[in-house]
Structure 1
Amino acid sequence: MNTTAYYPVTAAVTRGRGAPFTLEAARIRAPRADEVLVRIVATGMCHTDMIVRDQYYPVPLPAVLGHEGAGVVEAIGPQVKGLQVGDHVVLSYGHCGHCLSCGGGHTAYCQEFFARNFSGADPQGESALSDESGQRLNDHFFAQSSFASLALARENNAVKVSPKAPLELLGPLGCGIQTGAGAVINSLKVTPGSSFAAFGGGAVGLSAVLAARVAGATTIIAVDVVPSRLALALELGATHAVNSKDVDPVAAIREITAGGVNFALESTGRPAVLRQAVDALASRGALGVVGAPALGVTAEFDVNDLLLGGKSIRGIVEGDSVPQKFIPELVELYLQGRFPFDRLVKFYSFKDINQAAEDSEKGLTLKPVIRIHN
Structure 2
Amino acid sequence: MRITAALTETRGAPFTLTPLELDDPRPGEVVVRMVSSGVCHTDLIMRDQWYPVPLPAVLGHEGAGVVEAVGDAVRHVAPGDHVVLTFNSCGGCRMCDQGRPAYCDGFFGCNFAGARPDGTSPLRRAEGGGRDVVHGVFFGQSAFATHALASGRNVVKVDADAPLELLGPLGCGVQTGAGAVLNSLDPPAGSSLAVFGAGSVGISAVMAAVIAGCSTIVAIDLNERRLDLARELGATHVIDAAAEDPVERLRDLTGGLGPGYTLETTAVPSVLRQAVDTLCNGGTCGVIGAAALGTEVSLDMSTLLFGRSVRGIVEGDSVPRRFIPQLVEFHRQGRFPFDRLIKTYAFEDINQAVEDSEKGTTLKPVLTFA
Q: How far apart, CA to CA, are the structure 2 residues paired with 1:358 and 1:210?
A: 26
Indicate the SS of the match to 1:281.
coil
Q: How far apart, CA to CA, are the structure 1 residues paired with 2:62 and 2:264?
A: 21
Shift of 1:136: 1.7
Moved over 4 A (4+): none
Counterparts of residues 4-19 of structure 1 (less than 5 Å): 7-19=1-13
The question of 1:79 aligning with 2:73 is answered yes
Q: What letter corresponds to residue 217 of structure 2 in structure 1?
A: I
Q: 1:266 aligns with which of 247, 264, 267?
A: 264
Q: 1:61 aligns with which of 29, 49, 55?
A: 55
Shift of 1:211: 0.3
Aligned Cα RMSD in Å?
0.6
Q: State the partner residue of 1:47.
A: 41
**Identity across aligned pairs (percent)?**
58
Shift of 1:82: 1.2
Q: State the partner residue of 1:90.
A: 84
Q: 1:152 aligns with which of 129, 132, 149?
A: 149
Gaps in structure 2 of 5+ consecutive residues:
none
Q: 1:324 aligns with which of 318, 321, 343?
A: 321
The question of 1:337 aligning with 2:334 is answered yes
Q: What letter corresponds to residue 224 of structure 1 in structure 2?
A: D
Q: How far apart, CA to CA, are the structure 2 residues paired with 1:345 and 1:264?
A: 24
Counterparts of residues 120-135 of structure 1 (less than 5 Å): 120-131=114-125, 132-133=127-128, 134=130, 135=132
Q: How far apart, CA to CA, are the structure 2 residues paired with 1:71 and 1:346?
A: 18
Q: What letter corresponds to residue 80 of structure 1 in structure 2?
A: V
The question of 1:243 aligning with 2:237 is answered no
The question of 1:167 aligning with 2:164 is answered yes
Tell which deviates more after alignment, 64-73 or 157-166: 157-166
Q: How far apart, CA to CA, are the structure 1 residues paired with 2:222 and 2:34?
A: 35
Q: What TM-score do you get using the length of structure 1 for normalisation? A: 0.97
Gaps in structure 1 of 5+ consecutive residues:
1-6
Indicate the SS of the match to 1:37.
strand
Indicate the SS of the match to 1:168.
helix
Indicate the SS of the match to 2:260.
strand
Q: How far apart, CA to CA, are the structure 2 residues paired with 1:159 and 1:51?
A: 25
Q: 1:107 aligns with which of 101, 105, 118?
A: 101
Tell which deviates more after alignment, 127-136 or 168-177: 127-136
Q: 2:181 aligns with which of 175, 180, 184?
A: 184
Q: How far apart, CA to CA, are the structure 1 residues paired with 2:321 and 2:354?
A: 28
The question of 1:293 aligning with 2:287 is answered no
Shift of 1:75: 0.4
Q: What letter corresponds to residue 287 of structure 2 in structure 1?
A: V
Q: How far apart, CA to CA, are the structure 1 residues paired with 2:206 and 2:3?
A: 38
Shift of 1:222: 0.2
Indicate the SS of the match to 1:36.
strand
Count of matched residue pairs: 366
Alpha-carbon deviations, 1:157-204, whole Å to 9, x = none? 100001121111000000000000000011001110000010000000
Q: State the partner residue of 2:111.
A: 117
Q: State the partner residue of 2:282.
A: 284
Shift of 1:13: 0.1
Alpha-carbon deviations, 1:105-149, whole Å to 9, x = none? 000011110001000101110000111221221011000000000
Indicate the SS of the match to 1:124.
coil
Q: What letter corresponds to residue 287 of structure 1 in structure 2?
A: C
Shift of 1:47: 0.4
Q: What letter corresponds to residue 246 of structure 1 in structure 2?
A: A
Q: How far apart, CA to CA, are the structure 2 residues paired with 1:330 and 1:81?
A: 23
Q: How far apart, CA to CA, are the structure 2 residues paired with 1:138 and 1:155?
A: 19
Counterparts of residues 209-220 of structure 1 (less than 5 Å): 209-220=206-217
Q: How far apart, CA to CA, are the structure 2 residues paired with 1:200 and 1:22?
A: 31
Q: What letter corresponds to residue 218 of structure 2 in structure 1?
A: I
Shift of 1:255: 0.2
Q: What letter corresponds to residue 162 of structure 2 in structure 1?
A: A
Alpha-carbon deviations, 1:193-230, whole Å to 9, x = none? 00001000000000000000000001000000000000
Q: How far apart, CA to CA, are the structure 2 residues paired with 1:164 and 1:256?
A: 42
Q: State the partner residue of 2:194.
A: 197
Q: What TM-score do you get using the length of structure 2 for normalisation? A: 0.98
Q: 1:306 aligns with which of 304, 328, 331?
A: 304
Shift of 1:34: 1.2
Alpha-carbon deviations, 1:4-51, whole Å to 9, x = none? xxx110000000110000001111011011110000000000000000
Alpha-carbon deviations, 1:275-314, whole Å to 9, x = none? 000011111111100101110000011100110x210100
Q: State the partner residue of 1:3.
A: none
Indicate the SS of the match to 2:283.
strand
Q: How far apart, CA to CA, are the structure 1 residues paired with 2:119 and 2:28?
A: 17
Q: How far apart, CA to CA, are the structure 2 residues paired with 1:312 and 1:200?
A: 20
Q: How far apart, CA to CA, are the structure 2 residues paired with 1:61 and 1:372?
A: 24
Q: How far apart, CA to CA, are the structure 2 residues paired with 1:240 and 1:115?
A: 41
Q: How far apart, CA to CA, are the structure 2 residues paired with 1:64 and 1:42?
A: 15
Tell which deviates more after alignment, 132-141 or 260-269: 132-141
Shift of 1:156: 1.3
